[in-house]
Structure 1
Amino acid sequence: MSHATLEDTYNFAKKFSQYKDFYIKHNNLIFSKLGLGTFVKEPYKEENYVFHYIEAVKEAIRQGINVIDTASNYRYGQSEKEIGEALAELIAEGEVKREELIIASKGGFIELEYPFPENPYTWIAENIIEAGLATKDDIELDQHCITPDYLEASCRKSLKNLGVDSLDIYYLHNPEMQLLRLGHKAFYKQIEKVFERFEKLADLGLIQSYGVAVWNGFTSENSSELISLEKLVECAIKVGGMGHRFKYIQLPFNMGKTTAYTAETQKVDGVACSVINAAHNLGIGVISSSSLLQMNLFKKSFSAETGVVLDNSMTLKNDIQLALQFVRSTPGIVTSLFGSKVPVNIRENCEISKVRAVPRTKYDLLYRL
């Protein structure tokens, strides 16, 4: 096997049987409730290349995390390559099997290369337009492209960078960037073409499932920027039938950005609901990102009342752990991603595995504090 399996992900979870409800079954796989993300802001800055994620990835897996998330454009492919190095070393040493891990990447942003090309416009012309992957008009703001040919090439490049034969989840990355330019009708026609190609990639075994990763796309108050999850599922059914492989969405969720849970921005069968409820009703798994809001949650300490609701055992020692306990406990979320390149911080974050998730009735109290 070259992808995650139920048996192997279950065996991985059993290694950490002392953990308290830290694993969940979804789509015939066992997910850790925390996943490691590898996004870094402003990847063109040189300082983002003087560190690496290799030891962070190793530590996350050793601490019981089996969900690793990245994207082709994160640090222009460096994040994918470093994940690949870490996996190769752990697998060679017999510490983990590929089939125990759920590996996800994304395509849509133009990844360029590292070192950064002297003229990115020339690079785009030579590597995308002249290569026949897209036209100039297909590229939004010189940074985003969702033609099927470009996305397939990006997916294949991600596989090479990661050193794996298949991705467990492959996301269409921030497609809302194309929505204003295309308009809703043309946008969903383009989504059909993308999903049709993704279904073919799944038939080839290059991906096991696919999804859509957004920032505000599912929760925007501006209807011209809002993506309908129900329509996405309709697109998937149209090109892939009821056995389509559109299985996941990814969106930000944290203590400062809760609209995915609280705001009725979606409709299913004409009934308004939150995107998390919509996903549940449509059979789509929700992966949350930006669990720590890029550390912007911690400009002041959380209240004592919040701490008691999230952890009345007083096991957790800091606000970062409480913030992760919050997202981990959110009903309807399969896995919550956090980013860290420091192994000791990953160990501290995984301390939340020693306490149980907050029950739904108690969790909802947090929105009244």
Structure 2
Amino acid sequence: MREKCHKSCGVTPDCTPKESPKPWPGRATADGTRLFSTMYPGAYHAAEHHWRRDPAMGEFYLPGQQMRGAPWLHLSSLGVGTYLGERDARTDEQVTTAIIASVHRGWNCIDTASNYRNSRAERSVGAALNALFSGNVGITRDMLLISTKAGYIADDIADNLMIKGSKNGGIVTDYIVGGNCIHPNCLDASLKRSLSALNLAMVDILYLHNAAESHLGGLGNEAFLKRLREAFAWLEGARKEGKIAAYGMATWDCFRKAPERGGLQLQDIVKLAESVGGRNHGFRYVQLPINARMREAWEQEWQAVEVDGQTQKKTFMEAAARLGVGVFASAPLLEGELLKDEALRVKLDEVEELALLHNLGVKLLQISRSTPFLTTALIGHKAAKNADANVRLIALDPLNRDTFHKVMAQIDDGGKQAIV
């Protein structure tokens, strides 16, 4: 817990908890997120289309599928990511402060992972949540969507569980690949640690972290889907126990590859979830990179989807919307690499529709959040000036669909895109 309020987040009055709180109960709700979007002072003046109706409630509403809210969660088009940064107390405080400031000014999505900054990221998020929920700033648990990830396991968890040939609950070492394991025992241990670090009784989304990227190549499709089924069965159990509200896959390239290059079909994953959890399964979200250079999600029609009894080829974003899967964009700045691209900078400076934005990072963030069918673009910011510039973007609407495609065509290199 933070010992004192550093007053660097701009939130007043004092948001420091008076005592160490118990785990915060609850989850994001339709009423809570709608109240945040319409009444909370920091969010009240956001542009209309900064708010998204959660497509994971069923944008096309499949037969027999129940809505998980009344009617939809209201989620901000921008959310706080917590991936990069040093593993030190100074960065801990910067992350905590940035989260508090971002929520206070109209962002209600927070994303982290069990392995980010060697587990320090989750503790930084937990400190921010303690300050927000137990301070005097008017934020309640039901206003925020909080996600974390399991898959990359800590050494002590591996040491305790990865006991070859064990008959007392251990699992064979074949399940761990490059530090990644999605065996139910590992997921369970990871979630317990995450809930403790976050000081929450439940997370809104638990992602399997780079599961396909870690396991698919070595196992092959059939064996990987069998392993994924075991993980989904455990995740459905965690839903019933009230530890998670929903689950998903946080990915890097498995949904950005063509099928012949090993890319996954989202409809296959949804059907797998249905076979485990029924029509109202909990597989509702996917994270993948979407930015000015990584365009596959909205550009390539690689996803086969059944529409009115016919199989049609769709982009990943179109397929996700039709299948009721919400999409969160990661790496809008490609971990800072796009900020070094001088040719891209010049092109973006010539785009009239981005002329009001004077910061390259904010221009790139505007592009990512404007992706058709996207729920939220996630950005990690720690420095106060960067956080302030990013947060101010909520005053502007994202680009509409036609304008988005016009801008992306304008900055495209001859219509060519690198194929994963």
* Fold conserved between structures, TM > 0.5: yes
Paired residue for 1:5? 29
1:109 partner SS: coil
Deviation at 1:304, TM superposition (A): 5.6
Does structure 1 residue 59 correspond to structure 2 residue 86?
no
Paired residue for 1:172? 208
Paired residue for 2:124? 82
Residues 120-131 of structure 1 aligned to structure 2 (within 5 Å): 123=156, 126-130=159-163
Paired residue for 1:37? 81
Q: Is the 8 A contact 2:292 2:408 kept in 1?
A: no
1:288 partner SS: strand
Size of the aligned set, in residue pairs, is 351
Change beyond 3 A, Cα 1:335–1:248: same
Q: Is the 8 A contact 1:307 1:322 kept in 2?
A: no
Deviation at 1:275, TM superposition (A): 1.1
Distance 1:364 1:154 in 2: 40
Q: TM-score, normalised by structure 2?
A: 0.80
Deviation at 1:94, TM superposition (A): 2.8
Q: Is the 8 A contact 1:310 1:326 kept in 2?
A: no
**Paired residue for 2:50, among 13, 22, 44?**
22
Distance 1:278 1:69 in 2: 23
Does structure 1 residue 285 correspond to structure 2 residue 322?
no
Q: Compute the RMSD of aligned alpha carbons.
A: 1.8
1:155 partner SS: helix
Q: Is the 8 A contact 1:310 1:363 kept in 2?
A: no
1:238-283 CA distance string (max 9 Å, x none): 0111111111111000111111111122211332222111111211
Same amino acid, percent of matched pairs: 32
Q: Is the 8 A contact 1:5 1:100 kept in 2?
A: yes
Distance 2:299 2:158 in 1: 43
Distance 2:376 2:135 in 1: 27
Distance 1:303 1:111 in 2: 43
1:207-254 CA distance string (max 9 Å, x none): 001111100011124735322211110111101111111111110001
Distance 2:324 2:170 in 1: 32
Moved more, 103-112 or 200-209: 103-112
Q: Is the 8 A contact 1:104 1:168 kept in 2?
A: yes
Paired residue for 2:188? 152
Distance 1:133 1:273 in 2: 42
Distance 1:288 1:102 in 2: 15
Paired residue for 1:120? none
Moved more, 266-275 or 180-189: 266-275
Distance 1:250 1:305 in 2: 25
Distance 1:106 1:355 in 2: 30
Distance 1:309 1:149 in 2: 53
Deviation at 1:69, TM superposition (A): 0.2
Distance 1:166 1:337 in 2: 21
Q: TM-score, normalised by structure 1?
A: 0.90
Paired residue for 2:65? none
Structure 2 unaligned spans of 5+: 1-24, 58-71, 411-420
Moved more, 3-12 or 340-349: 340-349
Distance 2:291 2:198 in 1: 28
1:120-148 CA distance string (max 9 Å, x none): xxx4652221483532111112x010111
Runs of 4+ in 1 over 4 A off after TM superposition: 304-307
Paired residue for 1:334? 375
**Paired residue for 1:252, among 289, 292, 299?**
289
1:161-216 CA distance string (max 9 Å, x none): 10001010111111111001111011111111111111110011100011111000
Paired residue for 1:267? 304
Paired residue for 2:237? 200
Q: Is the 8 A contact 2:51 2:77 kept in 1?
A: yes
Distance 1:222 1:205 in 2: 36
Change beyond 3 A, Cα 1:307–1:250: farther
Distance 2:158 2:284 in 1: 34
Distance 2:162 2:78 in 1: 39
1:330 partner SS: coil
Moved more, 256-265 or 208-217: 256-265
Distance 1:198 1:125 in 2: 20
Distance 2:294 2:349 in 1: 16
